[in-house]
Amino acid sequence: MKKKIIITGATGLIGSRLTEALSNNYEISIFSRDIRKAKLIVPFAHSYIEWDFRNPRKWKDQFENTYAVVHLAGASIAGKRFTASYKKKVMESRTVSTENLAEAMVSVKNKPKVFLCASGVNYYGENGDKILTEESSSGVDFLADVCKKWEDKASIVEEHGIRRISIRTSPVLSTKDGMLKTLLPLFKGYLGASLGDGKQWLPWIHIDDVVQSYIFLLGNESVSGAVNAASPYPVRMNDFANQLGEVLNRPAFFKVPKILVKLVKGEAADFINASMRVVPQKLEENEFTFKYPELNKAMTDIIKNKK
């Protein structure tokens, strides 16, 4: 009999790939606001549960005899301006949903064994050239505060014997979504540019490696707490732009000054311009093998194979 895993955010970039990868060995139950959409995007699941994260009364009984919960849902921050109302949405979609999931998990008799909860490298905020491991302190900006509170809510389950992992995920490289998808048409149109002063450190991870890291952490009982999902080799923004241009055989002549990014993106520019030299200390200590640790090979694979 297959073990049951509940996944939220299964229709997103990581969620859809992870659900497919796990579906052969586990019974997958998807929590989704839109079941019709979920069935179209991820048809590999065993069951689909209508999910309103503010109303646990309707779904909390689903956690009985569940092996693991993977929580990936949260309002998007990509391409958004951080108005007061949207900041509230970003915060509550992570903290309230996580708190309600955690409390539902601990309320059942046969509790889940592991809770994998998304987080972000935004946890660290601006840190210049400092190397950032899981032991580094949190930042002071809005997204750092979101991640810290998000992880605090996830840790509720630890008091009840559930192994908790908060995966501080770097920008994920894929042609399907995220930063690379946004940049590709600009570079192909000879408008490739480095953002900010170009000197800021940019953590990143290949889509295949982030999916495999989730699977690795799910099965490795010796790992708990915060884990950085990032390539071992972060790069400066200038290098990122130049290597993308090299893979596409396009120049990266331009720079978008910090002040212009700020004018266009508002407070969200603080994350775009932040320097975060994040390294995956825990993954490496536990002998996780990155398939694409180097940026040029990662970009070449993603673009060539349209991953």
Distance of CA 307 to the CA centre of its chain: 17
CATH architecture of 173-202+233-280+291-305: Alpha-Beta Complex (3.90)
Length of the chain: 307
Q: How far apart are CA 28 and CA 16, in angstroms?
A: 12
| Residue ranges, CATH 3.90.25, the chain | 173-202+233-280+291-305
Residue 131 and residue 241: Cα distance in Å, rounded? 21
User: pLDDT for 215-244, tens place per residue?
Assistant: 999 999 999 999 999 999 999 988 888 888
138: left (phi over 0), alpha (psi -120 to 50) or beta: beta
Global confidence as pTM: 0.91
State the span(s) of the chain assigned CATH 3.40.50.720.
3-171+206-229
For the stretch 129-160, pLDDT in tens is 999 999 999 999 999 999 999 999 999 999 99
- C-alpha distances (whole Å) from 196 to each of 87, 119, 254, 258, 299 are 23, 24, 11, 4, 21
For residue 117 the two structure tokens come to 């909860």
CATH number of 3-171+206-229: 3.40.50.720
Residues 181-197: tens digit of each pLDDT: 877 777 776 555 566 67
Per-residue confidence (pLDDT) for residue 253, from 0 to 100:
56
CA distance 216 to 218: 5
Instruction: Find out whether 230 and 205 touch, Cβ atoms under 8 Å.
Output: yes
